[in-house]
Amino acid sequence: MPVVIYSLLRAALFLAATGLLWWAGMQSWLAPVLAAVIAWGLSYVLLPRQRDAAALHLAQRGEQRRARGGLAGRAREDAEAEDAATGGSAEDR
């Protein structure tokens, strides 16, 4: 959830910067490009807690995935569950 909140706040900063530039008279393709740079700078200064919370959340999810054995571990668990459901493994055939 922290990643979603951080992303939404960054999108809001981008939209606000784009709207402000558009309102100020910069009605070209350059407005969203400049707004992206402005929003990046503002998010770096204004959203450090949200950024840290999102980074911590992603790091914890990565650690949990590594503890479970990563994608190979999940594939192995899925194969074992399928073998149990069908009554044997691929080596038995």
Residue 91 domain-assigned (yes or no) = no
Q: What is the pLDDT along the chain (93 residues), one digit of tens a residue?
A: 999 999 999 999 999 999 999 999 999 999 999 999 999 999 999 999 999 999 999 999 999 888 877 666 677 778 888 888 887 655 555
What's the pTM value of the predicted model, to 2 decimals?
A: 0.69
> Does residue 10 fall inside a structural domain?
yes
Q: What tokens were used for 53?
A: 């919370």
Chain-centre distance of CA 49, in angstroms? 16
Which domain covers residue 46, as residue numbers? 2-86
| Residue 58 within a domain | yes
With respect to residue 59, please indicate whether it lies within any of the assigned structural domains.
yes
Check: CB of residue 59 under 8 Å from CB of residue 66. Answer: no
With respect to residue 35, please indicate whether it lies within any of the assigned structural domains. Answer: yes
**Residue 93 domain-assigned (yes or no):** no
- Residue 92 included in any domain: no
User: How many domains are there within the chain?
Assistant: 1
AA identity, residue 11: A
